Amino acid sequence: MRLLHTMLRVGDMDKSIAFYTEVLGMTLLRRKDYPDGQFTLAFVGYGNEADNSVIELTYNWGVDSYELGTGYGHIALEVEDVYKACEDIRARGGRITREPGPMKHGSSILAFVEDPDGYKIELLSPHRGD
């Protein structure tokens, strides 16, 4: 078994694709409309689906926002330099919601960014001690 993808419901497919590709540097792997079901799926990631886990963005036509609830946490991305990644993300219009620095009660360097729908993405250094 292997992890294939994580699905996120989005309110504006084009805005979400732009965020994940232009701000976070992922690649749009595929996108398809399903007129009979009135939804669109797009898959984004850092490599092909055969070898990597990816994110499935789901847009249900006519729905422009969702309640995120209290059960969802975040997606985590490993970045070489958390401080530099935050600078780059901010320069590309991304919203940093937790500035880079050590984890509370730990030593791992991390930060959080928020996508257009409010989903949190954690940025983690590859040199984690926690």
Share of the chain above pLDDT 90, in %: 86
What CA–CA distances, in Å, run from 64 to 67, 79, 81, 122, 128? 11, 30, 34, 24, 37
pTM metric for this prediction: 0.88
Distances (CA, A) of 41 to 10, 45, 56, 107: 10, 14, 7, 38
| Tokens describing residue 73 | 């946490």
pLDDT for position 121: 97
When pLDDT is averaged across residues 95-119 and rounded to a whole number, the result is 94
- The catalytically annotated residue of 22, 78, 80, 122 is 122
Instruction: Look up 87 and say whether it is catalytic.
Output: no
Q: What is the mean pLDDT of the chain?
A: 95
Is residue 69 within 8 Å of 60, Cβ to Cβ? no
Q: What is the pLDDT of residue 118?
A: 96
Distance, in Å, from the CA atom of 6 to the CA atom of 3, rounded to the nearest integer, reads 8
Across 10-25, average pLDDT: 98
Q: Which residue has the higher pLDDT, 69 or 90?
A: 90
